[in-house]
Amino acid sequence: MEAGIVGLPNVGKSTLFNALTAAGIPSENYPFCTIEPNVGVVAVPDQRLGEIQAHIPTEKVVPAILRLVDIAGLVKGASEGEGLGNKFLSHIREVDAILHVVRCFEGEITHVDGSVDPIRDIETIETELILADLQAVGSAKDKAARLTRSGDKDAKAKVAFLEKIEAHLDEGKPARQMEFADPEDRKTLKSLQLITAKKVLYVANVGEDDLTGESELVERVRQRAAEEGGEVVPVCGQLEAELAELDEADRAEMLESVGLEEPALAVLARGTYRTLGLQSYFTAGPKEIRAWTVPIGATAPEAAGVIHTDFQRGFIRVEVYSVDDLEELKSEKAIREAGRMRVEGKSYSMRDGDVCHFLFNV
């Protein structure tokens, strides 16, 4: 799972990235301090791993992974090369989701547009991403049009499809808001790697006096996200930067002192999962307890394939129970004796929190 962190310069992207990854990327108070896309890999916090380990001793615990890409601040005209331009737009095309950081605090840090206005900032970024997608669609349409002259029927259909997308983008609407009756059209759209087709999670960077995001600035972002069917996660980048420098005990004490239960990574990871429609299941044994990420609705063979493609091809059945079952009954032996160890076949749809033993032919 990979997410790209985007936003205007000086909204707190690199501060947040540093806090999440402890990578030490510069985050000074000037635009474009990020001049290469910085990549960090972080473990997704999940207390259920500890709950499993409490009842199943193991050699190691392996959490799910979130890959974060911090991309240089985009400005008005980025699609035409302003600021650091298209060089960085290409990096966003490769991620699964976009974390759009929006400044929702006043202060001395210079704003590239001279004032704090989160909706204006969102629209600036979205306009540039739409313009970049229009360029990509235009290039693809020209290429397909050339193929139609040689009588390629598939190319003719592709031109019509691209013209439909182009008209939608021309209206200032992101590609993710398009609706398709044919599932194949959705697959074709995905193959184009349009930036605005990606799901967006808004990250409201708040001040230390508004940790839960109750300010009017954050509320405006919530209203915008609600109109899009999206979500907002309030995060105080400055606080998270301070937390990142503490050991675990001091971090817990500081979180408690400010009334928070967990650091931003856990909140952002869950928000990203919801945005992408993902869930976790677990495998557990004496060698390893591991979290695996699958789409909501994934079947048991598809979940097995995340571990290894051979598991999916040779899938026979899966023995499955929930973390809640383990918490209640304390052991797999007790779960079996209570009749709570279920045996499921190829049609089984995975549930969040399943603990699985897959049986398969090699």
| Token digits of residue 242 | 């301070």
Q: Is 274 exposed, middle or buried (0-12, 13-18, 19+ CB in 10 A)?
A: middle
> Does 14 appear as a known binding residue?
yes
> Does 7 appear as a known binding residue?
no
Q: Pick from 6-15, 86-95, 130-139, 299-308 the range whose average pLDDT is largest.
A: 299-308
> Does 10 appear as a known binding residue?
yes
* Single pTM value for the model: 0.86
At 19 the pLDDT is 84
Percent residues over pLDDT 70 in the chain = 89
> What's the CA gap between 15 and 19, in Å, rounded?
6
> Does 283 appear as a known binding residue?
no
At 40 the pLDDT is 84
Section 132-152 average pLDDT: 90
Q: Is the pLDDT of residue 84 over 60?
A: no
At 10 the pLDDT is 82
At 63 the pLDDT is 93
> Does 13 appear as a known binding residue?
yes
Q: Is the pLDDT of residue 36 over 80?
A: no
Give 205-234 pLDDT, tens digit per residue: 999 999 999 999 999 999 999 999 999 999
Q: Is the pLDDT of residue 85 over 50?
A: no
For strands 97-103 and 2-6, give the pairing. parallel
At 254 the pLDDT is 94
Closest CA to 5 of 92, 105, 94: 92
Task: Please tell me the least confidently modeled range out of 19-23, 153-157, 169-173, 277-281.
Answer: 19-23
Banded model confidence at residue 350, pLDDT cuts 50, 70, 90: very high
CATH of 297-360, one of 3.10.20.30, 3.10.129.10, 3.40.47.10, 3.40.50.11740: 3.10.20.30
Q: Is the pLDDT of residue 26 over 60?
A: no
Task: Please tell me the least confidently modeled range out of 145-154, 198-207, 273-282.
Answer: 145-154
* Residue that the structure tokens 């629209």 belong to: 123
- Would you put residue 176 in left (φ > 0), alpha (ψ -120 to 50) or beta? alpha
Which H/E stretch holds residue 333? helix 332-337
At 79 the pLDDT is 54
Which CATH topology does 2-47+63-114+198-275 take?
Rossmann fold (3.40.50)
Q: Which CATH architecture has domain 128-195?
A: Orthogonal Bundle (1.10)
* Residue that the structure tokens 């970049």 belong to: 132
For strands 288-295 and 315-322, give the pairing. unpaired
Contact present, 133 and 195 (Cβ < 8 Å): yes
- In whole angstroms, how far apart are CA 162 and each of 172, 185, 189, 192? 16, 10, 9, 10
Q: Give CA torsion, residues 17, 18, 22, 28, to 10 deg.
A: 160
Largest Cα–Cα separation, the chain: 70
| Token digits of residue 9 | 């310069």
At 29 the pLDDT is 45
Q: Is the pLDDT of residue 24 over 70?
A: no
Give the number of residues written for the chain. Answer: 362
Q: Which residue has the higher pLDDT, 37 or 182?
A: 182
Section 25-37 average pLDDT: 48
Contact present, 309 and 360 (Cβ < 8 Å): no
Section 3-22 average pLDDT: 86
> What's the CA gap between 23 and 37, in Å, rounded?
13
Per domain, the residue ranges of the chain are 2-47+63-114+198-275, 128-195, 297-360
> What's the CA gap between 337 and 152, in Å, rounded?
63
